[in-house]
Amino acid sequence: MPLIDERFPASTWHLSDAGRYKCEDLRESLFQFFPANVYSSSEPKAIETAELSTSSYSTDQITTDWRLNEHYRETYQFQSQIQFETHIKEFFDYPDRKIFGEETADEAYIRFNTAIQEILSNGTPAQHSLIFSHGTVISLWVSRFLDISPFPLWRRLTLPSYIVIKHNNPSEFELVAIV
């Protein structure tokens, strides 16, 4: 749950007090996945979520990667929730078009998938990888690997939420849970 400041792009927002508080519950839920390699988008709200959600566990560090950032929409003017959801649906429905923002869904997917594949190939079988990112790119990525519709998945995600995916190899995934 970010602290929304309509004057600035969402990529610069930090967590609200409620968002920081909810990280306590998230930290308890994530306990089952430690030890883990921890990765985060370079956006402040994702870094803060990663730090607060892993603070009780021994992690060497949180690796930030700009490729895990949300769909780039720096020039997007703040709008009502209904207008925003309409744009998100169009973003998913027309992945090769710039619906809003600076990249298409296809471009965001390629960027995000490149980071995910690199993380998976560098991981050790004995450890989980926790990746703190954002709803739109996560929904986009998960939907393509699991052949499900991205918009209903995006709408299902709450703040914060997590998706557990089991992978047998870098191109074979199984959805375990959406929490």
Neighbours of 33 (CB within 10 A): 16
pLDDT class for 59, splitting at 50, 70, 90?
low
Q: What is the pLDDT of residue 58?
A: 63
Segment 44-58 shows an average pLDDT of 89
The set of residues, in sequence order, having a beta carbon less than 8 Å from that of 14 and lying 6+ positions away, is: 2, 3, 44, 45, 48
Q: Which residue is associated with the tokens 């710039």?
A: 98
Q: What is the pLDDT of residue 61?
A: 87
Pairing status of strand 128-132 against strand 172-178: unpaired
Q: Quick: pLDDT tens for 62-78.
A: 999 999 999 999 998 88
Q: Quick: pLDDT tens for 89-141.
A: 999 999 999 998 999 999 999 999 999 989 888 766 667 889 999 999 999 99
Q: What is the pLDDT of residue 149?
A: 96
Q: What is the pLDDT of residue 170?
A: 59
Alpha-carbon gap, residue 129 to 48, rounded angstroms: 17
